Structure 1
Amino acid sequence: MWFPRLPSDRVLRAGLGHIADNNRPFALIHHEKNTDRIYCLNPAAEAQGLHRGMGFSDARAYCPDLQSEPADKIADAKFLHTLARWGKRYCPWVGLDGTDGLMLNIAGAAHLFGGEAKMLNDMRHSLARAGVKGRVAAADTRGAAWALTHYARTYTEDITSLPVAALRLDAKSDTSLQRLGLRTIGDLLALPRATLARRFGPDVMLRLDQAMGAQDEVIAPLGEAPHYSVRMTLPDPIGLVADVMMGTERLLVRLCDKLKAQDMGARQLQLTLRRVDQGAQQVELRLAAPMRDAARILPLFTRGVDAVDAGYGIDQLRLEATQVERLLDAQINASKASRPDGLEDLITRLGNRIGLDNIQRFLPADSHIPERSFQSVPAAYSSPSGSWASLHSRPLRLFTPEPIAAVGSKPPVQFRWRRMSLTTGRATGPERIAPEWWLPDDNWRSGVRDYWKVDTREGRRLWLFYTPQNPSWFVQGEFA
C-alpha cells in the first residue's frame, strides 16, 4: 500500500472548520532552507500547477485561493500507525514502508476474502470510504509490489516495462542508467549480469534481484505497543487496608519492572479494585514526575486506598500506568549526588488533593522588565532551571507601583507611603530601565523608569522609581 497524499489526506478528512471546501486547492507547508515550502498537496492544488517543494509565496501567486496548514510529521506518523492497525484486519503481518506506505504479507490470508483480487478491491473501497488516497498492488516480491504501486499504470502491468527508478534506486544510479539508454527494468535484464555488476556495483544488482525474487527481502512486522498493566486475582476476598496495600505493592513491583525494561516512567497510575458483587472502586494517582520506584510510589496510594469501600470484599486488583514518559537511568558518581526526591513526593501528595496544576513555581524569563522577569508554571511539569541575571539587586517582594508625593529627580528626603512617614537614609541608583517596545504593555508605554534602592531610617528598604517623561515617584518593591 502506498499513500501518496497521506499528510494532506489526514488533515482534510479531519474536517477542520476553517477549510470550507475540501475540493479547493489545499497544501501543507513546512519550513525548509530559510523559507516556507509545500510539503504535501491535494489534486485540486496540483491542477493549478503547484508541486511539492515549491515556495509557498510562489504558490500563493499562482493560486491566490490556496488553503494551507502547517505540516505535522509526528501526527502523520501516528496516522500511518493507525492505518497499520487497520491493515491487520487483512493479515497479521503488517510493516511500515518508509513514511507513506505499508507492506503486508498476505500469504495464507487471501482466501479468507475470496482471493487476492477481491481482497485488494476491499482495501481500495475501504480507503476510499475513509477519504484516504491509496494505491494497492500485490506481487510475489516486496520490490515488485512497491514498483507496481509507485509506477504502474495498471495493477496487472508487467514490471519489466516499468522505469528503472521502480527498483528503489538512488537518484545517482537512476540518472547513470538512463544516460546509457537503460530506461526500463527489461533493459537491465537483457544485459549480462557480470557486465551489470561490474559497471554499476552491487546495489543495482541487489535491487534487481529483490524485485525478481532471486534475493529474499524480509517484511519486518510492526510490533505491538507495550501495555503497562498488571493484575492479581485473589482466591479469597480481602477488605483490610493493609491487605490491599500489600497486593498493590506486589503489582507495583511487577509494573515497575515493565517500565524499567522500556526505559519509561509512570506519570499517572490507576488502581482498580473489583469487589465480589462485581462493583469496582478506582484509585487514581497523578505523579509530579515520571517514576518507576515501587518503594516511593506505594505510600502515595495510602490516602486513596483508605477511602475505598470494600463492600463484601475485593477479589481482584488491577494496576495500570495510564500515562507514561521516557525516563532514562541517571548516572550517579561520587562527585555528583542524586537529586533529592522528597520535593516531588510532596508535590504528588498535595497535587492529588488540590490538583497538580494548582502547585506553581517561579522560573526566570528573558526580560529586563521587573514584572516580566519571571513566569509562574506548574511545578509538576517543570524543573528548576536557569537563573536571574542582573547587574543590580532585585527586591524580594514586587507589587503594583504605588504613587508617593515627591518632587525632583532625586529620591525625596521624606515621604509618606502606606500611611507611614519615612525618611531616606541612603539611596543607591539610578538604574534606568527602558520599555520593551515589541511587547504590548500599557504600563510601560509611557517611557523609561529610573529605579532607586532606598534605605529608610525606619528600617524599610524600598525600591522606588522616577518617570522623567511624566515627573512622578512610585514604590514598586521591598527588599528583605
Structure 2
Amino acid sequence: MLTASSSRRILAIWCTRLAIDRWRLLEGLAEGEGADAAPLALIAETAHGPRIVSVNAAGFAAGAKGGMMLADARTLCPALTVAPADPAGDLLFLEDLAVWAQRWGPWSALDPPDGVIVDVTGATHLFGGEAGLLADAHAALARRQLMVRLAIAPTAGAAWALAHHGPQDAILHPADDPAYRLGHLPVAALRLDDDTITLLKRLGLKRLEDLRGVHRDALVRRFRNRRSAAANPLIRMDQLLGLVPEPLLPVMATEAPMVQRRLMEPIRHRSLLDRVLADLTADMARALEGQALGARRLELGLWKVDNEVVVRRLEIAAPSRDPVHLAGLFGRKLEDVDAGFGIEMVRLRAAWTEPLALAQRDLESSAENHGTSLAACVDRLTVRLGSDAVRRPIARASHVPERAQRWQAPLDPEKTAQAEFEFHARPLKLLERPEPIAVIYETPDGLPKRFRWRNAAHDVLRAEGPERIAPEWWRERSTARLRDYYRIEDEQGRRYWIYRSGVWGDGRGGTPEWFLQGLWG
C-alpha cells in the first residue's frame, strides 16, 4: 500500500470517453469515421428501462448525455443508435492501460471508472521536464485513439481535480499554494458523491474557496457521521492539500499461463474436441507445475471457421492442476457448443492462479484421481447447481441469532477469528426473518399464555425463559430494543422460540412487540 504525499509528483490521466473510444476501437473505426459519425449511445438495462452510459460526440451535440434515459434522449435525437455497454470490458481495458502507463513512472493505480493515476516522481527529467512528459503522454495516447485530459500535481486528489475541472495539461508545482491555485474549482473537484455535492450547493458552498470561508468545526459537526471519503468534504480536502495520506493500490502486471492448439483441419465432432481439451489441460498442468501454481479460474476459447469465438469459464473451489479433473469439469460446459463449419483453434488460459507447492502423491491425491476428494465434489456440484447454490455457514461473533452466522464459498478459509460463545439451546430451524405474532399474557413482564401466528391461535402449555439478549450498540442505532426469548410449547406438543422486543418503560418505543423466530424439532 502506497500513499501520495506532498513530495510526490502524480500524473492523472482522465479518459473522457473511455467506453465510446473502446467501442470504436473494437469496431475498427477512426474517430468521426463510418458509424462513429452518426449519433451513438452505449446503454445499460435498469429497472426503469435502458439508461445511457456514454455517448459519442455526434450524440452529445444532438442533446444526448450520460445518465439520461434512452426514451428521453430519443425525443431529442430520433436518429440515435444504441449498442450495449460493457462495464467489465471497460474495467479490463483500464487495467491494461494502467500497466501500459507505467512507461512514465514506477507504478500506477486505477481511478475507476475512466482514469489512471501514475507516480512520476523522479522520472520527469527523462522527458525534458513535466511539460515534456505531458506532451509525450498526449502523443502516445493519441496513437491509441483515446481522448484524454492530463494534469500533474503533488497529490492524487489535486491531479484529479485539475484533470477533470482545470485547464488542459495543468501543472501544480510544489511551490504553488494548492488552496489558492485550486480555489476557483467547483466542489465536484473533491471527488464527492452526488448527494454530498447537492448538499454543499444548498449550503451555498459551490467552489473550493467557499469551504475556506467556513469554520472547520462547523463542517465537522455537519459531516461527522460520514465516514466514507466520497461523502465527507473535509477528508477529501485534506487529501487534496496533502495534509493526510491517500492510500493508492498499485496495479501489478501479471502474466496468465496460456496454452493453445491450432488445428490443421477444423473439427466438428465432440469426441475430437474432448481429445484436444485433454491435451490442453495436460499442457496447462505442466505450465502451472513449472511455476508452482494451481488454477482457480480457467477460460476456454474456441475459434470457429466463421470467425465466431465461443468462451467458457470455469471457477473451481481450490487450486488445482489435475488435467483429468479440469477436463471433466469443462466437458459439462461444452454440451451446448455448436461447432458450425468447424473449430480451428482452441485456447486455454488460467485467469486466476494461486500458489500450489509440489507435494508427494498421497491418499488425497489418489482420492482426487478417483473424483472422491472434497474439492472435486464441490467443483462438480458447482458446475451442476451454480456457484450461488454451494455455500457453507461460518459462525460469527454475535449473540443476535440472525447475525450468528454468514455464508461463504465451501473451501475458502475463515477470514476472521470467531469468538467462542456459550449459547443457550437454539432451535433446529430458524426463520429467515422473525415473523410478528400477537401474544396474550397475564402481566406485562410475565410469561405468554396464548399467541396467534399465521391466522392460527395456540394456547401455551409450558413456557421457559426469558433469555435476554441486549442490542449490539456498535452496529445498531440507539433506538434498538433488547429482546427476551422464551421457549414455549402449545397444547399439541409443538415447540416454538419467540421473543419480546423491548420492555415497558424502556424509553425506546411504545408497546413491546412479539415475534416468532424458530421452531423446535
TM-score (normalised: structure 1) = 0.51
SS of 1:312's partner is: coil
Higher mean displacement: 386-395 or 237-246: 386-395
List runs of 5+ in structure 2 lacking aligned partners: 17-95, 107-118, 138-150, 155-251, 505-510
- Kindly tell me: are residues 318 and 225 of structure 1, through their superposed partners in 2, closer, same or farther at Cα, counting changes over 3 Å? same
Partner in structure 2 of residue 237 of structure 1: 266
The 2-side partners of 1:6 and 1:259 are apart by 43
Partner in structure 1 of residue 194 of structure 2: none
In the TM superposition, what is the alpha-carbon distance from 1:235 to its structure 2 partner?
Answer: 2.5
The 2-side partners of 1:335 and 1:277 are apart by 44
What is the number of residues matched between the two proteins? Answer: 299
- Kindly tell me: are residues 80 and 285 of structure 1, through their superposed partners in 2, closer, same or farther at Cα, counting changes over 3 Å? closer
Partner in structure 1 of residue 12 of structure 2: 13
Instruction: Report 1 or 2 for greater relative contact order, CA contacts < 8 Å, sequence distance ≥ 6.
Output: 2
- Kindly tell me: are residues 432 and 7 of structure 1, through their superposed partners in 2, closer, same or farther at Cα, counting changes over 3 Å? farther
In the TM superposition, what is the alpha-carbon distance from 1:392 to its structure 2 partner?
Answer: 0.6
Residue in structure 2 matching 1:431, options 467, 477, 483: 467
Partner in structure 1 of residue 426 of structure 2: 394
Q: Does 1:300 align with 2:346?
A: no
Partner in structure 2 of residue 275 of structure 1: 304
The 1-side partners of 2:454 and 2:462 are apart by 20
The letter for the 2-side match of 1:320 is R
In the TM superposition, what is the alpha-carbon distance from 1:302 to its structure 2 partner?
Answer: 1.8
Equivalent positions of 1:135-174 (< 5 A) are: none
In the TM superposition, what is the alpha-carbon distance from 1:13 to its structure 2 partner?
Answer: 0.9
Q: Does 1:450 align with 2:491?
A: no
The 2-side partners of 1:344 and 1:377 are apart by 13
- Kindly tell me: are residues 257 and 133 of structure 1, through their superposed partners in 2, closer, same or farther at Cα, counting changes over 3 Å? farther
Equivalent positions of 1:319-398 (< 5 A) are: 319-328=348-357, 340-350=374-384, 354=386, 356-357=387-388, 360-377=391-408, 389-395=421-427, 396-398=429-431
In the TM superposition, what is the alpha-carbon distance from 1:248 to its structure 2 partner?
Answer: 0.6
In the TM superposition, what is the alpha-carbon distance from 1:259 to its structure 2 partner?
Answer: 1.6
List runs of 5+ in structure 1 lacking aligned partners: 18-77, 89-98, 104-116, 135-222
Equivalent positions of 1:34-433 (< 5 A) are: 121=128, 125-126=132-133, 129-130=136-137, 225-328=254-357, 340-350=374-384, 354=386, 356-357=387-388, 360-377=391-408, 389-395=421-427, 396-398=429-431, 399-407=433-441, 408=443, 409-433=445-469
The 1-side partners of 2:381 and 2:418 are apart by 21
Partner in structure 1 of residue 520 of structure 2: 479
Say whether the 8 Å CA contact 1:406–1:412 is kept in structure 2: yes
1:175-218, Cα deviation, whole Å (9 max, x unpaired) = xxxxxxxxxxxxxxxxxxxxxxxxxxxxxxxxxxxxxxxxxxxx
SS of 1:274's partner is: strand
SS of 2:472's partner is: coil
In the TM superposition, what is the alpha-carbon distance from 1:274 to its structure 2 partner?
Answer: 2.4
The 1-side partners of 2:354 and 2:458 are apart by 55
Say whether the 8 Å CA contact 1:358–1:378 is kept in structure 2: no
SS of 1:13's partner is: strand
In the TM superposition, what is the alpha-carbon distance from 1:294 to its structure 2 partner?
Answer: 1.5
In the TM superposition, what is the alpha-carbon distance from 1:228 to its structure 2 partner?
Answer: 0.8
The 2-side partners of 1:269 and 1:441 are apart by 45
Q: Does 1:460 align with 2:501?
A: no
The 1-side partners of 2:286 and 2:6 are apart by 38
Say whether the 8 Å CA contact 1:397–1:479 is kept in structure 2: no
- Kindly tell me: are residues 296 and 425 of structure 1, through their superposed partners in 2, closer, same or farther at Cα, counting changes over 3 Å? farther
- Kindly tell me: are residues 292 and 80 of structure 1, through their superposed partners in 2, closer, same or farther at Cα, counting changes over 3 Å? same
Say whether the 8 Å CA contact 1:289–1:344 is kept in structure 2: no
SS of 2:448's partner is: coil
Say whether the 8 Å CA contact 2:499–2:514 is kept in structure 1: yes
The letter for the 2-side match of 1:397 is L
The letter for the 1-side match of 2:132 is H
Give the root-mean-square deviation of aligned CA atoms.
Answer: 4.5
Say whether the 8 Å CA contact 1:464–1:476 is kept in structure 2: yes
SS of 2:424's partner is: coil
- Kindly tell me: are residues 415 and 125 of structure 1, through their superposed partners in 2, closer, same or farther at Cα, counting changes over 3 Å? closer
In the TM superposition, what is the alpha-carbon distance from 1:250 to its structure 2 partner?
Answer: 0.8
Higher mean displacement: 249-258 or 388-397: 388-397
The letter for the 2-side match of 1:418 is R
- Kindly tell me: are residues 129 and 283 of structure 1, through their superposed partners in 2, closer, same or farther at Cα, counting changes over 3 Å? same
In the TM superposition, what is the alpha-carbon distance from 1:244 to its structure 2 partner?
Answer: 0.4
In the TM superposition, what is the alpha-carbon distance from 1:85 to its structure 2 partner?
Answer: 5.6
In the TM superposition, what is the alpha-carbon distance from 1:479 to its structure 2 partner?
Answer: 2.3
Partner in structure 2 of residue 38 of structure 1: none
Say whether the 8 Å CA contact 2:104–2:133 is kept in structure 1: no
The 1-side partners of 2:101 and 2:398 are apart by 46
Say whether the 8 Å CA contact 1:5–1:133 is kept in structure 2: no
SS of 1:317's partner is: strand
The 1-side partners of 2:14 and 2:99 are apart by 20
In the TM superposition, what is the alpha-carbon distance from 1:241 to its structure 2 partner?
Answer: 0.8
The 2-side partners of 1:270 and 1:133 are apart by 40
Q: Whose strand proportion is higher, 1 or 2?
A: 2
The letter for the 2-side match of 1:238 is I
- Kindly tell me: are residues 85 and 438 of structure 1, through their superposed partners in 2, closer, same or farther at Cα, counting changes over 3 Å? same
